[in-house]
A and B are shown apart, each in its own frame.
Chain A
Amino acid sequence: DAGITQSPRHKVTETGTPVTLRCHQTENHRYMYWYRQDPGHGLRLIHYSYGVKDTDKGEVSDGYSVSRSKTEDFLLTLESATSSQTSVYFCATYRTGDVAGYTFGSGTRLTVV
């Protein structure tokens, strides 16, 4: 997980409250992603970014927004948390070239009660 830091690692929040998850990278990678991982569904893409202020929706974007004001930071916001958003959230960066692949953070376990 070297190079990608997610915060917080764990969070419990109440339904209806806004929540922001943070991802910080030191890899200087252009591409960044937010995934959620749930039993029976695997990893699903929420939002992604191709660069500063350049973001787009993924497969399960409803209820989520993102912002990327600097190359190294990618924020995921749950505008009004619901119990269906209880999940483990992973941030990832993507390196291109001959050894293309993702580097994932350690994840944030979010519980919405």
Chain B
Amino acid sequence: SQKIEQNSEALNIQEGKTATLTCNYTNYSPAYLQWYRQDPGRGPVFLLLIRENEKEKRKERLKVTFDTTLKQSLFHITASQPADSATYLCALDNNQGGKLIFGQGTELSVKP
């Protein structure tokens, strides 16, 4: 069956360091992979989308890589700040009308 896994443990890092979050998937060939941020009591917010033919995508302090051979995406936040503390979700899209499959999310905590 299709499966998508993110770091189950919360990630605690020091302000200014780079946070790296992992998303692995099996039995799936997504056309796109997306990353979302979710704060407590709020809906997820779209951050980045990367296509299967793209290796890397950047947006300000965010960087996403997509390795379709390893079936893995890495999400990096450079120069992390306490305001980056949130849960980050990855989602797979096989280009069938936007029906995404979400991972369970990784909780990131950035300490000052």
Contact = CB atoms under 8 A, between A and B. Distances in A.
Interface string B66-82: 00000000000000000
Interface size class of A (residues with CB under 8 A): 20 to 34
Interface stretch (A12-20, A78-86, A95-103): A95-103
B34 interface: yes
A100 B44 contact: no
Nearest to B44: A104
B43 A107 contact: yes
Contacts, number: 59
Contacts of A106: 41-43
Among B91, B98, B103, the most chain A Cβ lie within 10 Å of the Cβ of B98
B103 A42 contact: yes
A69 B86 CA distance: 36
Given A42-B89, A43-B89, A101-B49, A94 B42 contact: no
Interface residues of B, number: 21
Contacts of A92: 43
Interface of B: 32, 34, 36, 41-46, 49, 89, 91, 93, 97-100, 102-105
30 contacts: A1-B42, A31-B98, A33-B98, A40-B104, A42-B89, A42-B105, A43-B89, A43-B91, A43-B100, A43-B102, A45-B99, A45-B100, A48-B98, A50-B97, A58-B99, A90-B43, A94-B97, A94-B98, A100-B32, A100-B98, A101-B34, A101-B49, A102-B46, A102-B98, A104-B43, A104-B45, A106-B41, A106-B42, A106-B43, A107-B41
